Structure 1
């Protein structure tokens, strides 16, 4: 059974969401402040965490920062509607996805399942190399100039899609389906935020140019000077 830890100080919301998750086949535990939520997340094994941004004692951002130093558990953050900055920060610190509140339980389940599908590719395990970036699908390892870098599951999958189509323009719709495991919805900025994080982590190309180029109205393109 898939184990999910829901960390939110809204007890009524937790009760409603946990009942829905359990009906969908998840095992769901709840904590109502950041400290106890982080403690449980580190003591026990969970397949995914759902974390509210604003909580007493320890907010969601700090919780994920502390968690990421020790665990790579997928994290879906809950933000208040209109908290655009919160969404960006949530992904920059290592969250895998976000959802605005109040959230539809069906959408939450769909997002969780999409996050959990982001695992090692089951088909082509060929090592990819584009310029100084090397990607190992089997071990999910990344090196830039032979130095390892840390990526979230979503960032890894998006980079893998871009590397398989290096030099080509890849639409946001395709990136969302292949990299995040779901369809792109209106006002969904997840792909853009993950790409922004990838640019920061990968750094510029050897000539100082951007590795990932934005194509207005088209999507994104991984520049490829040398590809293996």
Structure 2
């Protein structure tokens, strides 16, 4: 499966029940999760808003079904006959004032060590009884931008961007941040990283770069998110 990039003008969200698991599937899931945590003790089985399905209407409309799960459900991928579990996520395109784009490399303690991607992350579900909407995505995007790069852009300053379907079937909502000076972006990330390291915490990004073209993206060492080249190509007008 290859990544796709869509322009969307209308989105509707509907909450559905979590997938039913057999006893064998649940046992296998719990075992796989225990193995993953043993290899990376920083993994946290926190709540996520997972993608249950979607439908496009061909006229810019998108209907999204979602459900409340936890991170351990991700290890169902690859289990025979297990329900398909994909993520809902946000990503922020943070430009600097010279036209370059900020990307970060995920640290070894994350679930995707060494992967280059924009600031962002898996969506957390709203409180019980609350509906999911684009404003929840926007608020989460602003929080991820601050937590990963130190940039304190307000949620209402983030403009809506396209929607991406990544190579694993997860659905991402992109937001455009206002440009900032390159020196400010680097300084804010440096301050954040040093503060977290000093407190015994590993930063989510162990490195950030400002890229000015697709060729610069392709020259970065290591893998990148499956949708990143599509997004960068759109950003650079390629």
Q: Taking structure 1 as the reference length, what is the TM-score of the superposition?
A: 0.29
Higher strand share: 2
Q: Taking structure 2 as the reference length, what is the TM-score of the superposition?
A: 0.29
Higher helix share: 1
